[in-house]
Structure 1
C-alpha cells in the first residue's frame, strides 16, 4: 500500500474528484469568464515550475526527494527559503489551477482537504524527522520559514 501512498497519487485522486464534481454539478455554477482559464494556466504552470525547481535543489544537495526517506542534507535556500514545503505547495497550486480550469466552484473545498491530508500524512512526519536529524538547524529554519507560504 505504501507504493500508492505518495503525494502525486493523492493529487491525482483529488484532481479526479474535482473533475467528478464538475461533471456532476446540478447547479451550473461557474467562475465566469476567460480570466479563470488564464489564472488556471498560470497556477498549473507555476506549480509545476515550483516542483521542478525544488526537486532540482534537493537532487543538487543529494538528499531524498521521496517521502519517508531519510534526508542526508537539509535544504533551506532557494524555493525552500520561502516555503518549508515547496513541492507540496506546487501540488496545491496545480489542484487550484485545475479547479479553475474545470470552471467548478463546488470543487474548491477539495483544496483545503488536500492540504490537510498532505500535512497529516507527509509534512508532519517529514518535519519531525528533520527536527530529529538536524535539531538546531530545524529550529531556526522552522521559526524563520512558513510551512506553506
Structure 2
C-alpha cells in the first residue's frame, strides 16, 4: 500500500465508492446531502495541505512520504495543530465529496482514506521520523495530536 501515494489511494476510494453508488442507484441521505456544504468542505480541505507543501518546499525537506529520509523535522505552520495536515486534508476532501453527492456509499470513502492513512501510511512515516529525529520527534508527538 505504501507504493501508491496517499492522494492516489483517496482518488481510488472515491472512484470505487462512486462506482458502487452508481450500481446501487445513488441512494441519498437527504438530511446529509448538501452541495453547498460539500463544496465548502472541499475548498477548506486544501488549506492545510497546501500550507504544508509550501512549508516543506521552504524548509527544503522531502514531500514524498516514502522517502528514505527527511532533511528536517517540520513542526511549524499547520504542523503546530496536527502532525498530519496532508492526510487530514484528504479525509476532509473525501468527506466533502460524500456530502456534496449525499450518496450513502460515498461516505465509505472518507472512512477508507482515514483507515489507510491512520494504520498504514502514518505508522510508516512516524517510525521513520523516530529513527531519524529521535527525542525531537517524540517530544513533538507528545505535544501535537496525530489528527486534531
- TM-score between both structures, scaled by the size of structure 1: 0.88
Q: Among residues 51, 54, 57, which one is paired with 1:53 in the alignment?
A: 51
Gap runs ≥5 in structure 1:
none
Please say if residues 31 and 105 of structure 1, whose CA atoms lie closer than 8 Å, have aligned partners that are also in contact. no
Going from structure 1 to structure 2, the CA distance change for 1:15 and 1:27 (only over 3 Å counts) comes to: closer
Q: What's the secondary structure of 2:135's corresponding residue? A: helix
Q: What's the secondary structure of 1:23's corresponding residue? A: helix
Q: Among residues 15, 36, 39, which one is paired with 2:37 in the alignment?
A: 39
- Residue-by-residue CA offset, 1:111-133 (whole Å, 9 max, x unaligned): 22221112233111111111111
Q: How many angstroms does 1:139 deviate by?
A: 1.1
Please say if residues 92 and 110 of structure 2, whose CA atoms lie closer than 8 Å, have aligned partners that are also in contact. no
Alignment partners' CA distance in 2, 1:123 and 1:132: 14
Aligned residues: 147
Counterpart for residue 77 of structure 2: 78
- TM-score between both structures, scaled by the size of structure 2: 0.89
Please say if residues 27 and 104 of structure 2, whose CA atoms lie closer than 8 Å, have aligned partners that are also in contact. no
Q: How many angstroms does 1:27 deviate by?
A: 7.6
1:10-49 equivalent positions in 2, closer than 5 A? 10-26=9-25, 28-32=27-31, 36-49=34-47
Q: What's the secondary structure of 2:34's corresponding residue? A: helix
Q: How many angstroms does 1:48 deviate by?
A: 1.5
Q: What's the secondary structure of 1:116's corresponding residue? A: helix
Alignment partners' CA distance in 2, 1:7 and 1:27: 26
- Give me the CA root mean square deviation: 2.0
Going from structure 1 to structure 2, the CA distance change for 1:45 and 1:137 (only over 3 Å counts) comes to: same
Gap runs ≥5 in structure 2:
none
Ranges of 4+ aligned residues in structure 1 off by more than 6 Å: none
Please say if residues 50 and 86 of structure 1, whose CA atoms lie closer than 8 Å, have aligned partners that are also in contact. yes
Going from structure 1 to structure 2, the CA distance change for 1:54 and 1:27 (only over 3 Å counts) comes to: closer
